[in-house]
Amino acid sequence: MTDFKVSFLGLGVMGFPMAGHLSKAGYPVTVYNRTTQKAKDWVSSYQNGTAQVTACETVDQACKDADIVFMCVGNDNDVKEVATQALNAMKPGSVLVDHTTASADIARELYAACSDKHIGFLDAPVSGGQAGAENGQLTIMVGGDEDIYSKVEPVMSHYARHSQLLGKSGSGQLAKMMNQICIAGIVQGLAEALHFGQRAGLDCHAVIDVISKGAAQSWQMENRASTMLNNSFDFGFAVDWMRKDLGIALDEARKNGSTLALTALVDQYYADVQKLGGGRWDTSSLLTRLK
């Protein structure tokens, strides 16, 4: 399987370690990043392994010989721009995998564009944040065709603890919207509980130790409650990124007629955090607006 030549487009806090796991697994990896120095830094980090690693200055150079092209960029516009360049260079029979959190519409659009060129496509947004990417413990939600997924899943497994095909193209992005909707509500609930406990004069660390053993338990409680109490918000998934994701979910809700009252409210609470200067704070910083 490591005979596959893979490319990775986008070396941000997620893409950099994800591409690194592929190199460590023995795949020849070619990388591209808009900031060329970032691609060179990645090569410097992984060139001592057994696999060939290469940095390219253009998307078409990075993609022309690849069997699988992964990308993890910023938003719909970035996805469309980079994917268009990639498709101009990719060979028939290859596969494009988009790990960006983007809209279901752009996923469907790319699926059609890839099909016209006899190229496979998967929309495969991830959850787990920077730590999940670095530790190879991401969860991947996938939309696309089963035969393409079966081809790519063993490769993605090197940076995922779980991936699952959820339906036709766009399904991965829709599932990621559900993921972010859940997180928004849970973090707000946790922030309010901690705020309440502090105002009540309780030892919130002790309370969390107790209630985390019961029905209130969540990943956010286990991993963020103590840092929230310590006013530490300099890690994890940034508020600016969460607002982008919630905006995508709210747009989709308007299209399918679903009601996301809590999501819309928490999105505005995150806007409050941005006004406090917290655009790059972790999403658990919802607590700051209650102080």
For residues 19 and 31, the answer to whether their CB atoms sit within 8 Å is yes
CA distance 84 to 61: 13
For residues 70 and 99, the answer to whether their CB atoms sit within 8 Å is yes
CA distance 72 to 77: 12
For residues 165 and 144, the answer to whether their CB atoms sit within 8 Å is yes
Q: Long-range contacts: 198-202, Cβ < 8 Å, 24+? A: 198/229
For residues 127 and 141, the answer to whether their CB atoms sit within 8 Å is yes
Query: Residue 153 — φ and ψ, nearest 5°?
Result: -55, -45
Q: Which residues are catalytic?
A: 176
